[in-house]
Structure formats: C-alpha cells, structure tokens
Structure 1
Amino acid sequence: MVIVARWIVQVQHLNTVLGLLKELQVHSRQEPASRCYDFYQDPAAPEKILIYEEYNDEEGIEAHRMSPHFQSIIPKILPMLKDRSVQVFEQR
C-alpha cells in the first residue's frame, strides 16, 4: 500500500518542518512493514513537499500511525502547514 501526502508549509517554518520530517523519515524507515519513506520538495516552490510512503499492508500503515515517533512529530508539524492532502493507494 502506498501513501502520497502533499504539504504546503508556511514558509517561515520550512526549516523546522524539514528537520522534523527527516527525523520522522529515519524512524519510519525502521518500521517492520515500511518498504519506503521518502520526501521531495518542489524546486520552484520549496514550501511544497510530497511525501511517498510504501507499506506491506493496512496493518503496517496503522502501526506507522500509532508509532511513538508519528504520534510525537506529526502534531508538531501540522500547525506549521498551510495545506495538506493525503491519499492511500493499493496495488491491483
């Protein structure tokens, strides 16, 4: 299963969000069900971030969302975003 998240960060918080996102990436990549956890910035608009996550199954996604690192880092990031969207895809 794949998660694609798109964030627009408040410019004044960009460096803080990137630091927290890197921390989240390190921990998320160590999760047993995690196949991939990467993020990308739009070169023309660095405040636009795309996060690509891949997990073995729905249980892996739920374990990620309930993990201590997700539970502590995401609440810090959310107030610094202007907008966000999250989509979940499954392979057919």
Structure 2
Amino acid sequence: MSPTPSAIIAVAAEWRVQPGQEETVRQLMLQAAAAVRQHEPGNLLYIGHQDPADATHFLFYEQYADQQALEAHRDSAHYQDIVVKQIVPLLTDRTITFYQLMS
C-alpha cells in the first residue's frame, strides 16, 4: 500500500556536535540509518549530511508515511539506543523541524 501524500511527514534534524566527536557521531548515524532502513517499513527516506566546511554541523532529512510511522521510529529500540542514549549526549545543539508534504 502506497502512502497517502497528504499524510507524509518530513523531518529536518539539524545538529551541532561537540568538537572532537564528529567521527563518533558520523559512525553512529550510519548505524542508525542502516537500522531504520532494515526495521522501519513506514520510513520512506533517511539521509544524513555533514557540512564540508564545518564537520560539527550535521543535517538529516527523513520522510515517514504518516504520523504512526514517525512515532514507531521514535519508539524503536535502535533510535532509543543509538540516537537518544549515545548521540544526543554528544550534541551542543539540536533543532528538529517537521513538514507536511504539499499535495
């Protein structure tokens, strides 16, 4: 079943990492992305970016089929273990913005 375009939720997560923790966060996010793709059928897109001019600056763009898929992501064991417990303590700033797909 295809997602209803009006239900799709996009997430832009912008992070600043403590200096010296860039590679640790990068490796953890690669693990998180692999887990999301493997275990979350409601995830449509999960892409990480790192600023080439400032290695402490990350941007993640994600799309979920609907609110339920986004909640399943937040509640997943891999998100709680990798992002919440391991990555968040290494951040100096975290901004998360939610968008609805225009249809």
TM-score (norm 1): 0.96
Where has structure 1 moved over 2 Å in runs of 4 or more?
Answer: none
Identity %: 37
Of Structure 1 and Structure 2, the greater strand share is in: 1
Deviation track 1:18-42 (CA, whole Å, cap 9, x = no partner) reads 1110000001122110110000011
Alignment gaps of 5+ in structure 2? 1-8
Matched, 1:88 2:98: yes
Aligned pairs for 1:51-70 (under 5 A) are 51-70=60-79
Partner SS state of residue 55, structure 2: strand
Aligned pairs for 1:1-92 (under 5 A) are 1-30=9-38, 31-74=40-83, 75-92=85-102
Q: Based on CA coordinates, which of the two structures has the bigger radius of gyration? A: 2
Alignment gaps of 5+ in structure 1? none
Count of paired positions: 92
